[in-house]
Structure formats: structure tokens, C-alpha cells
Structure 1
Amino acid sequence: MDQFAALKAFVIVGEEGSFVKAGAVLGVATSSVTRQVNNLEEHLGVKLLHRSTRSVTLTDVGEKYLADVSRVLEDLDQANRSVMDTGTGPRGLLRVSAPLEFARVHIAPFLKEFGDLYPDLELELDLSNRVINLAEERIDVAIRVGQIESMSLIARRLAGHRRILCASEGYFKQYGIPEQPQDLKRHNCISFVSKAGGRNWHFERDGERYTVKVKGNMRANNSEILRQSALLGGGLILAPDWLVGCDVTCGQLKQVLADWEVTTNTKNGDVSAVYLPHHRGSQKINAFVDFLKAKYEPTPYWLKNVQGCDLLSSSE
């Protein structure tokens, strides 16, 4: 038995709760993972996992063993990286997942610079608004906007994130300015389509809470389409500051109900980089995350890189 391989297989099965997912992470057949864990249990003479047709869970002994083995493997990985990284920079393939529009505005402008800094890194981007399973799709690091639901992921905050309720001056001249959340019931609110809904907008201020079911003549699953419509006077939008903050600062859009925190069915949260626990300490992941974090720290990060709104020189 290759004990190191068996221990690694057990840790990933325990973290993922699935032999299939562990096989995907390790890049081996499910049967191979099953055999390694079975051999490990036979070698130790204890049962580490409860198996059923629907789930795989840790036994009490397995839970303690997982914690101990995880620390050992992390120490070993760190020792290996310390030796391998001596005199070298990050290298190899880095697979990154990110929301399409966020990546277009706040990642794409930096890719040339990142590539120049780390010429031995090959970057592969998977751009989609869906929340993917990092293990199943072999993603090293994902950029997430909003609250992180999974407790099994390591999350590093990159920047803040909040939603802005806004429309063009032309729209407000024609239809008036809402002064309280209930006023939105008589406005054309163009909203984002998602599985969680999106037509219930939640308002909170000093303990007051309101939910308004908005209506409008258009919905879309692309935030840039909504932004363009709002710029042309198409209606009110509830959009992230990283997308419309610059438009509001430039005066192309006007924010309303600014003293309220506004959300949809999902909380505002932050912009975060997330990755699996066994990738902790990865040099290539740290290089990418540290690079983005440095880019988002000075000034409001959304004040840069939005086409048609050059306020950078006046803000520095």
C-alpha cells in the first residue's frame, strides 16, 4: 500500500463527502480512490467512513484521524513547497473561475501585467455567473461576489461589494424620483434574472426593513445589458457598485435611496477569492490573489477600468 496516496485519498474523501468528487480532485478513477481508502482502513484495523448509496460520512474515529492527518499533510506540502520554490517563481497551470462581467471590468485589464510578472504561469479562465463546484471542475481558485455559502472553502476578502439603486436623469425627469422604498411599486424596475429570483428587493436602515416586489418591462441574466438600458433611460436598476459606481460618480446615473442598504434574495457580502483547503499555501494561487488584492486596495477599485469614465487622474 502506498500510504501517502491512501492518506491523501482519505482526506479528500472526508472533505468532499464523496469518492467520485475525490477522484475528480485527484485525477484518478473512483475505484482507485475506493481501493486506497479500503486498504488504509484494513491497515489501521478501524472503520473511518460510513458508506451508503447516498452519502459518505466520517465515523467518530475517522473525524479525529482526518484532523490529525490533514495537519501532517499540510506540513509535508509546506516543506515540499519551501524546497521547490527556492529560487523559482510560481509556475504551471492556474485555473480560475470568475463572474463574466466582473472579470471583464476588473480582471481583464490586469492580465497582461500579471502575465509579465509570472511568465512561468499559464492562466486558464472559466467565466460564468454560475457557482461551480471547484473540486468537480478542477478549479484552483474562484472569484465570488457576495456571501460565501460553503463552509468547506477557504475565502480571502479582496474588496467590498454593495448594490446601488440608480437610473438616468432622463428617466427621473419623466417619472419622478422615488423617496422611499414603497415608491418603487410605480416605477419601471429592470431586474437581474437568477434562480433565486430577483424581483423582491429588500431595504434595511436603522432597524427598519421593507421588502418591495418590483415590476418592470425587462429582465436579463447579464448585468451589463441592464446597465446599458439604464444609461439610456430604460428604468431603475439595482446593480453592484463595481459595475455602476463609476457611472454614478460621473453623473451618467443618479443614485436614489442611498441611505438604505438594498439587496435582492442574496446578501451583499464581499468580493472574495475562494479555494479548497488542500490548496492552502499554493504559491500560484497566492500570487494571483495577492496581485488582485493589491489592485483593489487603492481608491474605490470600481473607479478604475470602466470604459467611458476616466476619473483616475482626479482621484489620485
Structure 2
Amino acid sequence: MDYHNLYLFVKIIQKGSYIAAADELNIPTSTLSRRVQQLEEQFGYQLLYRSARKLSLTEAGALFYRRCQPLYEELIEATEGLEGELTSPKGTLKVTAPISLANELLNPWFFEFMKQYPGINLDLLLVNRNIDVKEEGVDVAFRIGEIHIPDWIVRNLFTSKFTLCCSPGLIRELGHPQSLEDLHQYPLIQSRRSKRWQFYDHNGAEHLFVGEPRFIFDELRGAVEAAEAGIGVSNLPDYVIGDALTAGRLITLLPQLHPADREVKMVYPHRKYLPAKVRLFIEFIMKKVEQERDNLSV
């Protein structure tokens, strides 16, 4: 069935005549008449009595119109709703991210997005564990490191570089370590999720270090404060400790070794048609990444 013929039929009834409908649709009355005839042939009933100026519905036509009109109006309402969402998007966007990544970097971006799109609400779920994004109804997730979510698109945002560091006071007390093995003699500050530190030398050879931590953290800001306070040595992302390194509150250790980088990524469901609120959020984040590229140590 050609459903466009249904639309033309309803439009003729609404306008009251072939001529009025033809004027609004900008098509010849002969075309309208032919399309209604096609509809009648498909149904096997006459729907309209033929008249260019006066419209008369048959019994079958009146019954059919009463059935079609609510569907037609619902379709128009849905179309207008979609257009409204595209021009003035609204609704709730559920986003998840690691706690420190949001607090240290993403939150200002989220706030700017909400100011730019006042009709979109943000439901922010901050966790350091990898939750089931499908079960939680997440629209967009930020993750660090490897990601395996079937049917989700992965967008690389930037490379998070790390620095092995500690406070100057700790070095004055214990001296500079000369190798990874020396770190066993130092108090360590380590993440609960990553107690193994990975390094590369100038030849690209991998070196692993596993020590006994004195302080275990879940949130990066606390780890930075502990390192600055001289609690121990830590391996932390540059986007968190950049200011402390520049100001001299933290210093770099074992410069002959390069800590392994980790990729910061944004993931979202693989859909042919993304909701406007999701599409706009993704575009906004990618634009911010481009604008802040030099500051993100990409």
C-alpha cells in the first residue's frame, strides 16, 4: 500500500475539496483524483463521490476517514515533537564517568553543556568500577583503559600520561631512588584498581613494579594530597598533578623510565538514529577535546 495516498485522502477531507487540497499541497487536482482512485482500487470500495468543488464521502469513505484521522494526527504530533527535539532538545541524559576524571576534568564541560542546552537534564553517575551500562540505562559512558561493550561505539578522547612522583620532603628524607627496585624501600601510594605499575625505558622495553602500598586510594584527589604531604611515592595522571609538578609541590622520579599511558574514551550505544540530546552531547565533548588538546597531553 502507498501510505502517501492515505495522507492525500485525509488532506482532501480536511480541506473540504480537491481544489483546496491541491492548492495547499501544490499538486494538480487530477493527480489527487488519480491517487484516491488508486486507494479505492486497493480497498475495493468507493471512498469519495467525484466532484472538484463539492466533497461527498461514501459510507465506506466516512468510516475509513474516522479510522485514519486519529492516526494521521498522531503522526503529525510525533513529527512536530521530533522537530521540536531537534531545534530545542530536552530530556534527561544519563552519563557515567570515573569519579576523579569527572571532578578533575569533565565537570566544567558538563556544566557548560547544560548552560548551552537548558532543556537537557544531566543524570551523572560517578563510579570507579565498570558498571553494566546497559542495565543502568546509561546514554554515554567515559572509561579509562580497555573497553569491551558489545554493540557500543568507542571514541578515543585523549591519552592520559602518568608521572612517577613524590614530595620534595620525602626525597630529602629518603634520597632519590635510582631504580624500580629501590622503590621497595619507599612508602607507596597506589590505586585499589591498579597496584601494578608499568614502565618503558628509552629502548621500549617493558618494566613492571609491584610493591606493598602504605596508602590505597579510590579517588585521585586524595592521592595527590597524600603525595604532596609526603606520605609516599605515587604514579599519577598528569591532568591531576600538572599544577603540583609546575609549582614544585611534587617532583618527578626515575626520569629514565616512562610510565605507561592510558586511553580516555567515550562510549555510547551503536544506533542508526541517536536521540538529539545524545548526539549533541557527543559533538560537544569532541569539540571540547579538540579545544583543550594541548592541555590534555594528547
Q: TM-score, normalised by structure 1?
A: 0.62
In 2: Cα distance, 1:137 partner to 1:149 partner: 16
SS at match of 1:243: helix
List runs of 5+ in structure 2 lacking aligned partners.
Answer: 1-78
Structure 2 residue identity aligned to 1:224: R
- Deviation (angstroms), 1:113: 2.2
SS at match of 1:149: coil
In 2: Cα distance, 1:184 partner to 1:113 partner: 42
SS at match of 1:115: helix
Aligned to 1:215: 212
In 1: Cα distance, 2:296 partner to 2:262 partner: 16
Structure 1 residue identity aligned to 2:92: L
Aligned to 2:90: 91
Aligned to 1:130: 129
- Deviation (angstroms), 1:191: 0.7
Report the structure number with the largest CA radius of gyration. 2
Distance 1:147 1:112, change over 3 A: same
CA contact (8 A) 2:160 2:296 kept: no
Deviation track 1:54-86 (CA, whole Å, cap 9, x = no partner) reads xxxxxxxxxxxxxxxxxxxxxxxxxx89x6368
The answer to which of 229-238 and 282-291 deviates more is 282-291
SS at match of 1:112: helix
Aligned to 1:275: 268
Aligned to 1:295: 288
1:240 aligns with 2:237: yes
Deviation track 1:69-118 (CA, whole Å, cap 9, x = no partner) reads xxxxxxxxxxx89x636861432111000111111121222333212211
Deviation track 1:188-242 (CA, whole Å, cap 9, x = no partner) reads 1111112xxx332222222322222212322122222111110111111111222
In 1: Cα distance, 2:265 partner to 2:120 partner: 21
CA contact (8 A) 1:146 1:161 kept: no
Deviation track 1:164-201 (CA, whole Å, cap 9, x = no partner) reads 2111111111111223222212221111112xxx3322
In 2: Cα distance, 1:176 partner to 1:279 partner: 58
SS at match of 2:271: helix
1:22-101 map, 5 Å: 84=83, 88-101=87-100
Q: TM-score, normalised by structure 2?
A: 0.65
In 1: Cα distance, 2:273 partner to 2:183 partner: 46
Aligned to 1:185: 184
Distance 1:135 1:87, change over 3 A: closer
Distance 1:300 1:168, change over 3 A: farther
Aligned length: 217
CA contact (8 A) 2:184 2:211 kept: yes
Structure 1 residue aligned with 2:196, among 189, 195, 200? 200
